[in-house]
């Protein structure tokens, strides 16, 4: 978003992370966003924002390893899955 400060963007992405369609993804993405977003580059935040546009059922299957993630999101999905399994 143009004119948006990094701080505002981080807050917006955290809110989008915890207001999902299914509770499992609320919890997974909320915890990931709280732990990792602040250290991400602008390009990584762009990718994360694209990920937030995906369907929750698809995201859950990718994060849980039930189905492979699309190539463009695979690295980020792997990072999220690793964060979940480390808890």
Helices and strands in the chain, H and E counts: 5, 0
- 36-67 pLDDT tens trace: 999 999 999 999 999 999 999 999 999 999 99
- Rounded distance between C-alpha atoms, residue 41 and residue 60, angstroms: 24
Q: What per-residue confidence (pLDDT) applies to 84?
A: 87
Dihedral sign for Cα 15, 18, 19, 25, please: positive
- 9 phi and psi, to 5 degrees? -60, -45
Q: Which one has a higher pLDDT value, 81 or 85?
A: 81
């Amino acid at each position: 978003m143009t004119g948006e400060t990094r701080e505002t963007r981080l807050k917006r992405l955290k809110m989008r992370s915890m207001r999902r369609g299914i509770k499992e993804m609320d919890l997974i993405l909320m915890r990931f966003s709280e732990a990792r977003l602040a250290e991400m580059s602008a390009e990584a935040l762009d990718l994360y924002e694209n990920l937030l546009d995906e369907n929750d059922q698809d995201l859950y299957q990718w994060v849980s390893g039930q189905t492979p993630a699309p190539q463009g999101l695979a690295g980020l999905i792997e990072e999220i899955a690793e964060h979940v399994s480390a808890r």
